[in-house]
């Protein structure tokens, strides 16, 4: 047994002395390898009588385990030491800038489109669409704007050249033609909004020849002006993200609604920024009214049975108000500086539970 | 439409304040655009009297005045030639801001004499350009009276926007009627004098139309007045016209303007001595000309109505009078014209000739057909009052269409349409105040519309009348019922595609732009557009003349503008419509993007590379996938539309008839003609060409994750360079569809010792064993199959690997 404890001391000393993984492996081979000292002694067990073999075997196995554990511990400590040594030489300047990535953006008009759809979608409005190049009928006639009506002059219409039959197409001056197209292919109850591009032959500080409107149309048997007010008030509160907004409903005139009203909301100017829902100034934001019986009839429905409201609102305009964007013309200039500044991140998808802005 | 408060009060008996009146106007739908109140600007100026004016001791041209003011006697040095003892003028005390000079007065010493205040000229008060002397008031004025009152400027001017349906509100009387219905006063009735006339008119009137054009002028009332004196109109009239922005001309002309604005009834006065024969209304002859009162000569056509005499046209009906027969200071005999002209024809004529006048504005909206003769009578009375003279009997031709209409208003309808509770009594009162003749017929009110309301056509209009007078602010909001407790999805697949496509591209680093739907003709032509039916007849400029055939040209132009602003690495996209024709189905919803420059800024760790067509292809494939296109089964074929580089462009399609999109380098010639520095890569996708998704369940198929590891093998082939890489990939994939799960190209090489026109393509083929580990023999067999399939499909030879 003395011999074994000597051997143990030798082997443990050799393990501790191993300076690297290779040396440690040499120790392992010399002790535990096929021809290692412990393995050689194992081979002698067969020649012993059972009693002797049992005792010697136990002792040898214990020694083997001890040495193996020592090697494992030494190995871990050598690995750690090697790692420490490597890490000591590894250093990157974390303050260096990362690789550049282009940062994309979504245009404010698109963002507001989605915001508007979120709000009206929750109220059960579908999103309807119609062509930009319209017939005179859909843009004017069906909307109770007969030819030579002074209201037509106020539309600053873009015309295409007359066809052989004398008719001429127009660029839609409002999203209201979608009212008619919707009535033609659906049956009440109808709740739609129709956001999209609209065109007027007008260009100055505050007008662009193309802009965006959102039309709203509700038709059933009972909807009245009170519902319109509620709908618009709820929309404005949700869109401008304020608890209260004061709205002023002024009688007005549109050929396609009767009664008609223009709607103002209250605002104040603080530090040069418009704040909706506070203050005592009024700003017009939309036109609306009860759909004119002639328009309902033009859409192929029975005005004695069907009634409801319609409204039209400028998407660019409410985007400017909400996000403090000063100049309408810049919306359509595709200036990267503007797009990056006023645009929205790709992942900033407006939702009602998550907030619209 | 402007008017003054005093003018309004001639039609409305009211004690309401200007604020109440303005709120009332807004409420009933007559939008107040502004109120101009000179009294407040002049509040510091008061009436004074020069008690004594004496020569300044040290200056020949100055006078020293002792002035009686509201603050007592003060000394003022004044240089005006008309400063004299006894003058009643306007005084400004020290501290007053003088608008005409822009300075605040101080006590001063002028040539050694103290001056405490100032005697003002009209220019200093900014009420006229006159600076001939100080204001010299004529009449009886109390010292200390406000200057505005003394000068007759204490009459606020109200400017209202009148919607096109309300011609009746284009006269002060009509506005007063609305306010009286609103409860802001009592409408004073119009006192139409019944002037008989002392002689037969020496000038007769006639309507000379055939049956088709009979409504062009349905009524003409005339009257001759002899012995008038035409000169400047009285101060009160001039002041009133000036206040609303009209230039006083002469008493006769000012009277017609006064009635135009007071009653919405335009009139014309001829100098009767310059008229030859019968005055008649007729259609103009093609090419006839008229020198109008605006000094311009107009060429007329046979759709226009003229007022003519034997000399030819003397006026364009309802729009403007002629120079030749107009009144001037020498006029002694006048002929009044009051007529009813067809609104549509008047509007068309005015538009064609480009003439905008107060008369046209009213006639084209529809003047009161019952007020033709009363208008002539009112005009006569004013002429007699202001110019004297002796009137003839009226001469009348035709009769105006009174257009009598009557509609039933269900008593419950105001509630059911406008959502507002108004008692039947109040409904009746409002409608009656507005001039409707209302009779109670049980469940309904029968309402006869007044002649001055051509806009009323049915029950809804009656509801509007009641609602606007009651005030829309009194309508209580009513919640709309929710169609579903939890909102259902509302977007169409097409709309969802648009959104997904947009957010995908933004997440890939592109900035979304919104560009015009129109573009210059030359740009349209470069991108396959420019069709005649897509040209605007009245473009806002030649830069915006045609509808865009594609989203790309405006994006390319935007790249150019951004380059000019110093941007270098540019990635823009747009989602919007392109137009192939003028029918709805010609309009397609598209997504397009352009990239130019480097993949990023210069960086310390790695060099950015130039963008190339594969960036555009990646954008297109990503947006196609986001939009739900079957990207696994699309074909990518070489070549694209003409505006792409012929060798560096491709088309993504589902068969040759359904192209989903294009990508590549924009053609260098296109860039040159658009003056944009390239190269520039682009793609365009037609959302509408993507097939509708199949109705699918929300459940996904089960995941088939294999426990065995995939095996990868590389192959390199050499083939003619024109053979598409896609052929290699497809052939390799097809060699063993069960086992091969992926094929990628990891190297492409041309030149070297390959020989001219040859190219090497290296593929990495992934084999996914399913049930058991692949043996070397099995792998060899698949490898041979790959080589056989690729060489057969492409004519390539194996270069090595395996």
- Residue where a domain terminates, one of A58, A89, A120: A89
Nearest to A203 by CA among B579, B543, B562, B555: B543
Give the tokens for residue B737. 């569809």
* pLDDT of A6: 87
Q: How far is B480 from chain A (nearest CA, A)?
A: 6
Give tens-digit pLDDT for B206-264. Answer: 999 998 888 999 999 999 999 999 999 998 998 899 889 898 999 999 999 999 999 99
Contacts of B579 in chain A (CB under 8 A): 132-133
Comparing alpha-carbon positions, the chain B residue that sits nearest to A253 is: B163
Which run of H or of E encompasses B187? strand B186-187
Query: Count of A–B CB contacts within 8 Å?
Result: 275
Residues B285, B176, single domain; the answer is no
Comparing alpha-carbon positions, the chain A residue that sits nearest to B456 is: A258
Give tens-digit pLDDT for A46-101. Answer: 888 888 888 888 888 888 899 899 999 999 999 999 899 999 999 999 999 998 88
Contacts of B163 in chain A (CB under 8 A): 252-253
In a domain, B198, yes or no: no
- How many domains would you assign to chain A? 2
Contacts of B365 in chain A (CB under 8 A): 150
Residues B524, B504, single domain; the answer is yes
pLDDT at A277 over 90: no
Comparing alpha-carbon positions, the chain A residue that sits nearest to B608 is: A100
Range of lowest pLDDT (A60-74, A108-122, A339-353): A60-74
How far is residue A52's CA from residue A1's CA, in Å, rounded to a whole number? 12
Comparing alpha-carbon positions, the chain A residue that sits nearest to B555 is: A334
Cβ A169–B533 below 8 Å, yes or no?
Answer: yes
Nearest to B208 by CA among B323, B276, B302: B302
The percentage of chain B sitting over the pLDDT mark of 90, rounded to a whole number, equals 79
* pLDDT of B801: 44
> How many other CB atoms are found less than 10 A from the CB of residue A44?
11
Query: Mind giving me the DSSP string for B8-70?
Result: HHHHEE----HHHHHHHHHHHT-EEEEEE-HHHHTTT-EEEEEEEEEE-TT-TT-EEEEEEET
Comparing alpha-carbon positions, the chain B residue that sits nearest to A233 is: B477
pLDDT at A1 over 80: no
- Give the confidence band of B490 by pLDDT, cuts at 50, 70, 90: very high
pLDDT at B500 over 70: yes
Structural domain harbouring B748: 711-801
Comparing alpha-carbon positions, the chain A residue that sits nearest to B540 is: A201
Contacts of A177 in chain B (CB under 8 A): none
The dihedral through the CA atoms of A117, A120, A126, A132 has a sign that is negative
B140 HSE (CA, 13 A, CB side): 0
In a domain, A97, yes or no: no
Cβ B577–A349 below 8 Å, yes or no?
Answer: no
In a domain, B503, yes or no: yes
* pLDDT of B38: 78
Give tens-digit pLDDT for A128-165. Answer: 999 999 999 999 999 999 877 766 766 789 999 999 99
* pLDDT of A265: 92
The DSSP symbol for B606 reads S
Do B313 and B286 meet the contact criterion of CB atoms below 8 Å apart? Answer: no
Cβ neighbours of residue B173 closer than 8 Å, sequence gap 6 or more = B11, B187, B190, B262, B263, B264
Cβ B487–A251 below 8 Å, yes or no?
Answer: no
* pLDDT of B800: 61
Contacts of B515 in chain A (CB under 8 A): 332, 334
Residues B85, B174, single domain; the answer is no
Give tens-digit pLDDT for B349-386. Answer: 998 999 999 999 999 999 999 999 999 999 999 999 99
Residues B526, B664, single domain; the answer is yes
Residues A295, A157, single domain; the answer is yes
Range of lowest pLDDT (A44-58, B199-213, B763-777): A44-58
Nearest to B257 by CA among B270, B278, B241: B241
Cβ B472–A154 below 8 Å, yes or no?
Answer: no
Query: Mind giving me the DSSP string for A222-270?
Result: S--HHHHHHHHHHHHHHHHT-S---EEEEEEEETTEEEEEEEEEEEEEE
Nearest to B787 by CA among B723, B721, B718, B739: B718
Give tens-digit pLDDT for B162-175. Answer: 988 899 999 999 99
Range of lowest pLDDT (A295-299, B290-294, B573-577, B658-662): B290-294
How far is residue B506's CA from residue B22's CA, in Å, rounded to a whole number? 50
Give tens-digit pLDDT for A217-226. Answer: 999 999 999 9
- Give the confidence band of A274 by pLDDT, cuts at 50, 70, 90: confident
Residues B316, B269, single domain; the answer is yes
In a domain, A356, yes or no: no
**Within its chain, how far is the Cα of B94 from the centroid?**
48
Residue with tokens 């608008």: B99
Candidates A155, A259, A308, A314, partner chain B, best to mutate (most B CBs within 10 A): A259
Do B468 and B27 meet the contact criterion of CB atoms below 8 Å apart? Answer: yes
In a domain, B731, yes or no: yes
- Give the confidence band of B802 by pLDDT, cuts at 50, 70, 90: very low
* pLDDT of B292: 93
- How many domains would you assign to chain B? 6
Q: How far is B537 from chain A (nearest CA, A)?
A: 5
The percentage of chain B sitting over the pLDDT mark of 70, rounded to a whole number, equals 99
Residues A72, A141, single domain; the answer is no
* pLDDT of A200: 94
Query: Which stretches does DSSP call E strand in B70-216?
Result: 72-78, 88-92, 97-98, 103-104, 108-110, 113-115, 118-119, 157-161, 186-187, 205-208
Q: Which of B344, B487, B502 sits opposite A110 (nearest CB)?
A: B502
Residues A149, A188, single domain; the answer is yes
**Within its chain, how far is the Cα of B82 from the centroid?**
52
- Residue where a domain terminates, one of B376, B398, B420: B398
Chain-wide mean pLDDT for chain B? 93
Distances from the Cα of B559 to the Cα of B138, B500, B649, angstroms = 71, 24, 19
Interval B379-408 mean pLDDT:
94
In a domain, B193, yes or no: no
Do B783 and B716 meet the contact criterion of CB atoms below 8 Å apart? Answer: no
* pLDDT of B704: 87
Residues B247, B105, single domain; the answer is no
Cβ A150–B347 below 8 Å, yes or no?
Answer: yes
pLDDT at B340 over 90: yes
- Chain B, residues 479-538, CB within 8 A of chain A, namely 479-480, 482-484, 487-492, 495, 499, 502-518, 532-538
**Count of residues for chain A?**
357
- Give the confidence band of A31 by pLDDT, cuts at 50, 70, 90: confident
**Count of residues for chain B?**
802
Cβ neighbours of residue B299 closer than 8 Å, sequence gap 6 or more = B287, B288, B289
- Please tell me whether residue A163 adopts helix, strand or coil conformation: coil
Q: How far is B81 from chain A (nearest CA, A)?
A: 48
Give tens-digit pLDDT for B705-754. Answer: 889 999 999 999 999 999 999 999 999 999 999 999 999 999 999 988 88
Do B580 and B574 meet the contact criterion of CB atoms below 8 Å apart? Answer: no
In a domain, B485, yes or no: no
Residues A186, A299, single domain; the answer is yes
In a domain, A357, yes or no: no
**Sequence-ordered alpha helix ranges (H) in B84-230:** 147-150, 172-182
Residues A115, A16, single domain; the answer is no
Do B763 and B744 meet the contact criterion of CB atoms below 8 Å apart? Answer: yes
Q: Give the global pTM.
A: 0.85
Nearest to B202 by CA among B277, B142, B311: B277
> How many other CB atoms are found less than 10 A from the CB of residue A239?
23
The DSSP symbol for B678 reads S
* pLDDT of B36: 87
Give tens-digit pLDDT for A178-189. Answer: 999 999 999 999
* pLDDT of B535: 96
Give tens-digit pLDDT for B52-74. Answer: 999 999 888 899 999 999 888 99
Comparing alpha-carbon positions, the chain A residue that sits nearest to B557 is: A334
Contacts of A114 in chain B (CB under 8 A): 499
Contacts of B502 in chain A (CB under 8 A): 106, 110
Q: How far is B336 from chain A (nearest CA, A)?
A: 28
Do B444 and B396 meet the contact criterion of CB atoms below 8 Å apart? Answer: no
- Please tell me whether residue B626 adopts helix, strand or coil conformation: helix
Domain of A279, CATH number, reads 3.30.930.10
pLDDT at B154 over 70: yes
- Residue where a domain terminates, one of A89, A124, A144: A89
Cβ neighbours of residue B734 closer than 8 Å, sequence gap 6 or more = B789
Residues A191, A298, single domain; the answer is yes
How far is residue B459's CA from residue B457's CA, in Å, rounded to a whole number? 7
3-state helix/strand/coil string of B758-792 = EEEEEEEEEECCCCCCCCHHHHHHHHHHHHHHHHH
Cβ A209–B467 below 8 Å, yes or no?
Answer: no
Contacts of A101 in chain B (CB under 8 A): 509, 600
In a domain, B200, yes or no: no
* pLDDT of B214: 82
**Within its chain, how far is the Cα of B790 from the centroid?**
64
Residues A234, A127, single domain; the answer is yes
How far is residue A183's CA from residue B548's CA, in Å, rounded to a whole number? 29
Candidates A189, A195, A226, partner chain B, best to mutate (most B CBs within 10 A): A226
Q: What is the ipTM of this complex?
A: 0.89
Residues A82, A153, single domain; the answer is no
Give the tokens for residue B151. 């000068």
How far is residue A299's CA from residue A309's CA, in Å, rounded to a whole number? 14
Which run of H or of E encompasses B380? helix B372-387
Residue with tokens 């001595």: B273
Q: Which residues of B265-289 are buried (b: 16+ CB within 10 A; e: fewer)?
A: bbbbbbbbebbeebbbbbbbeeebe
Interval A280-302 mean pLDDT:
94
Residues A155, A18, single domain; the answer is no
Residues A17, A74, single domain; the answer is yes
Residues A147, A246, single domain; the answer is yes
Nearest to B93 by CA among B125, B70, B109: B70
Q: Which residues of A341-355 are buried (b: 16+ CB within 10 A; e: fewer)?
A: ebbbebebebeeeee
Give tens-digit pLDDT for B650-704. Answer: 999 999 899 999 999 999 999 999 999 989 999 999 999 999 877 778 888 899 8
Cβ B502–A260 below 8 Å, yes or no?
Answer: no
Residues B501, B553, single domain; the answer is yes
Structural domain harbouring A118: 108-342
Comparing alpha-carbon positions, the chain B residue that sits nearest to A308 is: B417
Candidates B464, B486, B609, partner chain A, best to mutate (most A CBs within 10 A): B464
- Chain B, residues 243-282, CB within 8 A of chain A, namely none
Do B574 and B592 meet the contact criterion of CB atoms below 8 Å apart? Answer: yes
How far is residue B517's CA from residue B524's CA, in Å, rounded to a whole number? 11
Cβ A210–B608 below 8 Å, yes or no?
Answer: no
Domain of B463, CATH number, reads 3.30.56.10
* pLDDT of B127: 76
Give the tokens for residue A127. 């999103």
In a domain, B300, yes or no: yes
* pLDDT of A8: 87
Contacts of B463 in chain A (CB under 8 A): 258-259, 290
pLDDT at B192 over 90: yes
Candidates B19, B160, B165, partner chain A, best to mutate (most A CBs within 10 A): B165
Cis before residue A189, ω within 30 degrees of 0?
yes
Interval B772-785 mean pLDDT:
93
Range of lowest pLDDT (A31-35, B184-188, B408-412): A31-35
How far is residue B287's CA from residue B284's CA, in Å, rounded to a whole number? 8
Nearest to B373 by CA among B351, B332, B402, B405: B402
* pLDDT of A308: 97
How far is residue A168's CA from residue A165's CA, in Å, rounded to a whole number? 9
Contacts of B587 in chain A (CB under 8 A): 131-133
Cβ neighbours of residue B325 closer than 8 Å, sequence gap 6 or more = B270, B271, B274, B275, B309, B314, B315
* pLDDT of B790: 95
Do A167 and A208 meet the contact criterion of CB atoms below 8 Å apart? Answer: no
pLDDT at B343 over 70: yes
Cβ B164–A253 below 8 Å, yes or no?
Answer: yes
In a domain, A98, yes or no: no
Residues B8, B67, single domain; the answer is no
Cβ neighbours of residue B737 closer than 8 Å, sequence gap 6 or more = none
Residues B671, B736, single domain; the answer is no
φ, ψ for residue B190, nearest 5 deg: -80, 125
How far is residue B733's CA from residue B715's CA, in Å, rounded to a whole number? 13
Cβ neighbours of residue B559 closer than 8 Å, sequence gap 6 or more = B570, B572, B594, B596, B676, B680
Contacts of A96 in chain B (CB under 8 A): 604-605
How far is residue B222's CA from residue B338's CA, in Å, rounded to a whole number? 6
The DSSP symbol for B687 reads G
Q: How far is A30 from chain B (nearest CA, A)?
A: 38
How far is residue B802's CA from residue B800's CA, in Å, rounded to a whole number? 7
């Amino acid at each position: 047994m003395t011999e074994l404890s000597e051997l143990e001391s030798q082997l443990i000393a050799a393990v501790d002395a191993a300076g690297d993984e290779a040396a440690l492996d040499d120790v392992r081979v010399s002790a535990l390898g096929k021809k290692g000292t412990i393995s050689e002694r194992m081979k002698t067990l067969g020649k012993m009588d059972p009693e002797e073999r049992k005792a010697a075997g136990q002792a040898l196995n214990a020694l083997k385990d001890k040495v193996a554990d020592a090697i494992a511990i030494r190995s871990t400590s050598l690995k750690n030491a090697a790692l420490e040594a490597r890490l000591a030489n590894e250093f990157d300047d974390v303050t260096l800038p990362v690789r550049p990535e282009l940062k994309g953006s979504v245009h404010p008009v698109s963002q507001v489109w989605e915001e508007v759809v979120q709000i009206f979608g929750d109220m059960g409005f579908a999103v309807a669409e119609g062509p930009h190049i319209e017939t005179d009928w859909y843009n004017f006639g069906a909307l109770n704007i007969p030819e030579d009506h002074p209201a037509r002059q106020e539309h600053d219409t873009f015309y295409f050249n007359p066809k052989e039959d004398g008719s001429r197409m127009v660029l839609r001056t409002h999203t209201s033609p979608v009212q008619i197209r919707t009535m033609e292919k659906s049956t009440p109850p109808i709740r739609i909004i129709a956001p999209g591009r609209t065109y007027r032959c007008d260009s100055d500080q505050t007008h662009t020849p193309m802009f965006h409107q959102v039309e709203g149309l509700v038709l059933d048997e009972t909807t009245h002006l009170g519902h319109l007010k509620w709908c618009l008030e709820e929309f404005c509160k949700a869109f401008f993200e304020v608890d209260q907004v004061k709205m002023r409903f002024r009688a007005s005139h549109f050929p396609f609604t009767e009664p008609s009203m223009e709607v103002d909301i209250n605002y104040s100017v603080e530090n040069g920024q418009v704040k909706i829902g506070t203050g005592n100034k009024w700003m017009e934001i939309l036109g609306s009214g009860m759909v004119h019986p002639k328009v309902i009839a033009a859409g192929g429905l029975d005005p004695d049975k069907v009634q409801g409201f319609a409204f039209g609102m400028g998407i660019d305009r409410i985007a400017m108000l909400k996000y403090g964007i000063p100049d309408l013309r810049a919306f359509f200039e595709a200036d990267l500086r503007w797009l990056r500044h006023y645009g929205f991140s790709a992942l900033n998808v407006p939702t009602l539970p998550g907030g619209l802005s | 439409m402007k008017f003054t408060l005093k003018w309004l009060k001639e039609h409305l008996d009211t004690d309401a304040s200007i604020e109440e009146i303005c709120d009332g106007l807004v409420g009933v739908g007559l939008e107040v655009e502004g109120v101009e109140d000179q009294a407040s600007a002049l509040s510091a100026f008061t009436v004074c009297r020069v008690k004594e004016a004496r020569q300044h001791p040290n200056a020949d041209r100055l006078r020293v005045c002792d002035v009686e003011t509201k603050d007592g006697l003060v000394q003022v040095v004044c240089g005006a030639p008309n400063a004299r003892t006894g003058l009643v003028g306007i005084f400004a005390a020290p501290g007053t801001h003088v608008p005409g000079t822009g300075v605040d007065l101080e006590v001063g010493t002028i040539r050694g004499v103290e001056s405490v205040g100032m005697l003002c000229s009209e220019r200093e008060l900014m009420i006229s350009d006159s600076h001939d002397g100080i204001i010299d008031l004529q009449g009886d004025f109390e010292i200390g009276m406000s200057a505005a009152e003394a000068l007759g400027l204490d009459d606020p001017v109200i400017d209202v926007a009148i919607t096109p349906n309300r011609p009746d509100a284009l006269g002060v009387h009509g506005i007063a009627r609305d306010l009286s219905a609103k409860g802001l006063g009592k409408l004073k009735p119009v006192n139409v004098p019944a002037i008989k006339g002392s002689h037969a008119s020496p000038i007769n009137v006639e309507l000379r139309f055939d049956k088709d054009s009979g409504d062009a002028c349905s009524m003409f009332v005339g009257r001759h007045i002899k012995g008038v004196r035409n000169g400047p109109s009285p101060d009160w009239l001039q002041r009133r016209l000036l206040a609303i922005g009209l230039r006083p001309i002469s008493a006769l002309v000012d009277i017609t303007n006064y009635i135009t604005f007071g009653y919405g009834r335009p009139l014309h006065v001829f100098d009767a001595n310059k008229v030859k024969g019968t005055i008649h209304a007729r259609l103009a002859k093609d090419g006839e000309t008229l020198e109008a009162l605006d000094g311009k000569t107009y060429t007329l056509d046979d759709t226009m109505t003229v007022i003519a005499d034997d000399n030819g046209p003397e006026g364009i009906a309802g729009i403007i009078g002629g120079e030749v027969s107009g009144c001037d200071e020498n006029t002694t005999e006048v002929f009044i014209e009051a007529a009813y002209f067809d609104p549509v024809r008047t509007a068309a004529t005015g538009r064609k000739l480009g003439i905008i006048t107060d008369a046209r504005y009213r006639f084209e909206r529809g003047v009161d057909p019952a007020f033709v003769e009363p208008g002539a009578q009112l005009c006569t009375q004013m002429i007699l009052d202001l110019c004297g003279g002796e009137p003839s009997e009226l001469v009348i031709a035709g009769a105006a269409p009174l257009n009598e209409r009557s509609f039933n208003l269900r008593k419950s309808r105001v509630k059911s349409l406008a959502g507002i509770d108004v008692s039947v009594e109040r409904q009746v009162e409002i409608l009656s105040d507005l001039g409707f003749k209302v009779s109670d017929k049980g469940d309904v009110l029968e309402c006869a519309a007044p002649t001055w309301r051509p806009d009323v056509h049915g029950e809804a209009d009656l509801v509007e009348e009641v609602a606007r007078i009651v005030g829309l602010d009194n309508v209580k909001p009513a919640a709309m019922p929710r169609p579903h407790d939890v909102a259902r999805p509302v977007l169409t697949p097409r709309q969802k595609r648009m959104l997904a496509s947009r957010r995908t591209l933004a997440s890939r680093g592109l900035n979304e732009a919104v560009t015009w739907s129109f573009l210059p003709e030359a740009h349209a032509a470069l991108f396959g557009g420019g069709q005649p039916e897509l040209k605007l007849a009245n473009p806002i400029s030649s830069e915006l003349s045609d509808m865009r055939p594609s989203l790309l040209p405006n994006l390319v132009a935007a790249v150019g503008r951004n380059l000019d602003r110093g941007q270098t690495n540019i990635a823009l996209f747009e989602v919007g419509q392109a137009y192939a024709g003028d029918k709805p189905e010609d309009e397609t919803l598209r997504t397009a993007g352009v990239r130019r420059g480097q993949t990023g800024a210069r960086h310390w760790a790695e060099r950015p590379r130039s963008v190339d067509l594969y960036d555009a292809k990646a954008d297109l494939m990503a947006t196609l996938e986001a939009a739900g296109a079957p990207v696994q089964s699309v074909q990518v074929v070489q070549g694209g539309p003409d505006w792409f580089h012929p060798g560096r462009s491709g088309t993504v399609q589902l068969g040759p008839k359904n192209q989903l999109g294009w990508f590549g380098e924009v053609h260098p010639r296109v860039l040159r003609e658009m003056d944009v520095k390239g190269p520039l890569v682009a793609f365009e996708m037609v959302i509408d060409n993507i097939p509708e998704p199949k109705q699918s369940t929300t459940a996904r198929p089960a995941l088939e994750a294999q426990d065995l590891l995939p095996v990868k093998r590389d192959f390199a082939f050499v083939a003619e360079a024109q053979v598409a890489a896609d052929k290699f990939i497809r052939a390799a994939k097809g060699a063993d569809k069960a086992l091969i799960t992926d094929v990628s190209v990891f190297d492409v090489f041309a030149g070297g010792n390959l020989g001219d026109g040859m190219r090497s393509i290296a593929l990495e083929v992934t084999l996914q064993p399913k049930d058991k580990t692949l043996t070397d023999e099995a792998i060899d067999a698949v490898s041979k199959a790959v080589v056989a399939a690729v060489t057969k499909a492409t004519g390539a030879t194996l270069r090595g690997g395996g």
